[in-house]
């Protein structure tokens, strides 16, 4: 989809000038590309503009090399071809890990930080299936959906794009996953080493996640969420947008369902995505799991009253006409069996 002429190695002086220009104050991605077009080269731009000193670039490059990484400068053969087509492509990426992953087809899997257990389980299965079909899975190393998607795709290939510097672990609970992706996958960052992940950096990070990919899969996106930003950027970039649908009563799906209303592609399993992309590999077998039944009439009654939409426990007590103590016992048993999910406000739903 993004095939084109293979880039030749940049002249070392021009490559160093691009590093200086990109790391200079008030030079963002768009200004960087405008300067290249106006002056004809980064060397010429650096000669005319106030740019970062070469010694400062050398210091950051040395620190990155010491951390086991390297710079990818736009124009380098290793720079991701899909990303290079964007008008606001990052001039520089810090990279630690397997650069070979950038040459493979990539799909992004993104979603809620405060994801449900069911959403995390679906993301895990989907990322594993997409990896088995030959895709690299990209995401933003956030809590929730991002984390489980990365974890599920470690064996087949995953790329994590960070909002802060590549050495900045965020959130801290993902320290082990950060290290594992560095060892088995690929970490990327547009920000200089040591840069903390401030709020304005996350939308910029999201454009890279979508820009690397031929499509973005959204799982559990609220009405205002970073996942929606990623989906909108993907659409602007000409990428496919796939959305896992959910109940209108669940606020975690408000943004997801709105994307479907706006024309995004509904995806209930990996086959939906592979079919739209015309992927030549054999489609994955979808196995319908039988619903578990119970011989206990009270348990059966509770199961029939429950669904995927969170329901207040008090309402279940009234509907099933059982005591609160009996309901608590049944719900605990279902939870221990892995069939029940609890929500805020004393609400429950089936997994």
**3-class DSSP string for the chain:** CCCCCCCCCCCHHHHHHHHHHHCCCCCCHHHHHHHHHHHCCHHHHHHHCCCCCHHHHHHHHHHHHHCCEEEEEECECCCCHHHHCCCCCCCEEEEEECHHHHHCCEEEEEECCCCCHHHHHHHHHHHHHHHHCCCEEEECCCCCHHHHHHHHHCCCCEEEEECCCCCCCCCHHHHHHHHHHHHHCEEEECCCCCCCCCCCHHHHHHHHHHHCCCEEEEECCCCCCHHHHHHHHHHHCCCEEEECCCCCCCHHHHHHHHHHHCCCEECCCHHHHHHHHCCCCCCCCCCCCCCCCCCCHHHHHHHHHCCCCCEEHHHHHHHHCCCHHHHHHHHHHHHHCCCEEEECCCEEEEC
* Whole-Å CA distances, 126 to 70, 162, 180, 349: 31, 22, 20, 22
pLDDT of residue 52: 85
Q: What are phi and psi of 261, to 5 degrees?
A: -60, -30
pLDDT (mean) for 288-314:
74
Average pLDDT estimate for 256-272: 93
pLDDT (mean) for 246-275? 91
Whether 336 has a pLDDT exceeding 90, the answer reads no
Give the residue carrying structure tokens 């206990």: 296
Per-residue pLDDT band for 295 (boundaries 50, 70, 90) equals low
pLDDT digits 0-9 by tens, 1-42: 555 545 678 999 999 999 999 999 889 999 999 999 999 999
What is residue 7's predicted lDDT score, i.e. its pLDDT?
65
Encode pLDDT of 182-230 as tens digits.
999 999 999 999 999 999 999 999 999 999 999 999 999 998 899 999 9
Confidence of residue 340 (pLDDT cuts 50, 70, 90): confident
For residue 40, give both structure tokens.
């004809």
Give the pLDDT score at 98. 98
Q: What is the pLDDT of residue 280?
A: 61
Rounded mean pLDDT, 153-178 = 97
pLDDT at residue 292 is higher than 70: no
> Looking at per-residue confidence, does 222 or 292 come out higher?
222
Task: Enumerate domains of the chain plus CATH numbers.
Answer: 12-97 (no CATH), 100-277 (3.40.50.450), 297-350 (1.10.10.10)
Task: Report the predicted TM-score, pTM, of the whole model to 2 decimal places.
Answer: 0.82
The mean per-residue pLDDT over the stretch 43-50 comes to: 92
Which pLDDT does position 341 carry in this prediction?
A: 86
Alpha carbons 255 and 281: distance in angstroms, whole number = 31
Give percent of the chain above pLDDT 90.
Answer: 68
Least confident of 59-68, 168-177, 319-328: 319-328
66-75, 245-254, 342-351 — most confident range: 66-75
Strands 106-111 and 215-219 turn out to be parallel
Neighbour order of strands in the sheet with 340-343: 311-312, 347-350, 340-343
Q: What is the pLDDT of residue 318?
A: 87
- Write down the pLDDT at residue 286: 47
CA torsion 254-256-259-265 (nearest 10°) is -150
pLDDT at 97: 98
Question: In the prediction, which pLDDT does 287 show?
Answer: 45
Pairwise CA distance, residues 287 & 219, whole Å:
20
Q: How far apart are CA 171 and CA 332, in angstroms?
A: 31
How confident is the model over 111-139, as pLDDT tens digits?
A: 999 888 888 989 999 999 999 999 999 99
pLDDT band at 281 (very low <50, low <70, confident <90, very high): low
Q: pLDDT grade, residue 290 (50/70/90)?
A: very low
């Amino acid at each position: 989809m993004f095939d084109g002429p293979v880039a030749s190695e940049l002249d070392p002086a021009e490559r160093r000038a691009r590093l200086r220009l990109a790391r200079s104050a008030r030079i963002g991605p768009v200004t960087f590309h405008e300067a290249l077009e106006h002056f004809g080269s980064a060397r010429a731009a650096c000669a005319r503009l106030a740019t970062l000193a070469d010694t400062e670039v050398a210091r950051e490059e040395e620190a990155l090399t010491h951390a086991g990484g390297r710079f990818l400068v736009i124009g380098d053969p290793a720079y991701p071809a899909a990303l290079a087509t964007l008008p606001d492509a990052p001039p520089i990426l810090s990279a630690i890990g397997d650069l070979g992953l950038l040459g493979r087809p990539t799909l992004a899997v993104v979603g809620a930080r405060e994801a449900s257990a069911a959403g995390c389980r679906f993301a895990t299965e989907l990322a594993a299936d997409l990896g088995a079909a030959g895709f690299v899975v990209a995401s933003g190393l956030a809590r929730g959906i991002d984390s489980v998607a990365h974890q599920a795709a470690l064996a087949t290939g995953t790329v994590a794009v960070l909002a802060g510097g590549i050495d900045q672990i965020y959130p801290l609970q993902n320290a082990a996953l950060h290290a594992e992706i560095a060892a088995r996958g690929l970490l990327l960052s547009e920000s200089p080493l040591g840069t903390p992940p401030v709020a304005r950096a996350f939308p910029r990070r999201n454009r890279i996640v979508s820009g690397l990919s031929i499509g973005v899969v959204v799982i559990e996106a609220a009405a205002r969420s970073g996942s929606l930003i990623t989906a909108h950027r993907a659409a602007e970039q000409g990428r496919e947008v796939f959305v896992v649908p959910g109940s209108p009563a669940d606020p975690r799906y408000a943004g997801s369902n709105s994307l479907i209303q706006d024309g995004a592609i509904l995806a209930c399993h990996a086959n939906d995505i592979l079919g739209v992309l015309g992927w030549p590999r054999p489609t994955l077998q979808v196995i319908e799991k039988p619903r578990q039944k119970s011989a206990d009439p009270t348990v059966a009654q509770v199961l029939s009253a429950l669904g995927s939409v969170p329901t207040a426990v008090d309402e279940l007590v009234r509907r099933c006409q059982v005591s609160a103590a009996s309901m608590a016992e049944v719900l605990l048993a279902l939870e221990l069996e892995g069939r029940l999910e609890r929500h805020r406000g004393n609400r429950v739903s089936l997994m």
